[in-house]
Structure 1
Amino acid sequence: MYRRIRDLREDCDLTQKQLGETVGVSQRTYAYYESGQRMLTPQVLCSLAKFYNTSVDYLLELTDDPRPYPRRR
């Protein structure tokens, strides 16, 4: 289960449908991501990290630091 993507979505008062549209997937697919029934694709992970201004590691609970990594110039 991807707890952080659910928590971040709820903190922003967004529905699964709204966030699914933002990252280019259906509401059902997004629900599968949140529940862990489907693995997040690299493209969706990157889209979510950009949307929430955080790192992929934070979304995957590999770190508790929500700050994004510095971007390359």
Structure 2
Amino acid sequence: MFWENFYKMCMARGTKPNPVAKEIGISSGILTKWKVTGALPSGENLVKIADYLDCSVDYLLGRTDNPEINK
């Protein structure tokens, strides 16, 4: 669920996951791990991504369908 929501938010902002990760200091290897294995990011990385994409951590984790809730 995380990867799909992360990807959707990137597309909604007119970008892709790799440039977002690079901008906030996350390696492409970590991105691959999230995509291929379904692993979840650390809490610190979740906050970085949510802040960068202006959405909630709950949305990224699939706990809500609304990216604005609990932002």
Q: What's the TM-score once normalised by structure 2's chain length?
A: 0.75
Is the CA contact 1:9–1:15 (under 8 Å) kept in the aligned structure 2?
A: yes
Query: 1:25-51, CA deviations, whole angstroms, 9 ceiling, x for partnerless residues?
Result: 112312322x25232110110011111
Higher helix share: 2
Between the aligned residues of both structures, percent identity stands at 20
2:66 alignment partner, SS class: coil
> Which position in structure 1 is the counterpart of 2:62?
61
Query: Equivalents in 2 of 1:14, 1:31: separation in Å?
Result: 17
1:15 aligns with 2:16: yes
Q: Report the aligned-residue RMSD.
A: 2.0
Q: Which moved more, 1:23-32 or 1:42-51?
A: 23-32
Structure 2 stretches lacking a partner, 5+ long? none
- Counterpart-to-counterpart distance in 2, 1:36 and 1:47: 21
- Residues 21 and 27 in structure 2, CA contact (< 8 A), matched pair in contact too: yes
Query: What CA distance in whole angstroms lies between the structure 2 residues aligned with 1:20 and 1:47?
Result: 9
Shift of 1:17: 2.4
> Normalising to structure 1: TM-score of the pair?
0.73
The whole-number CA distance in structure 2 between the counterparts of 1:18 and 1:10 is 12
Query: What runs of 5+ residues in structure 1 fail to find an aligned partner?
Result: none
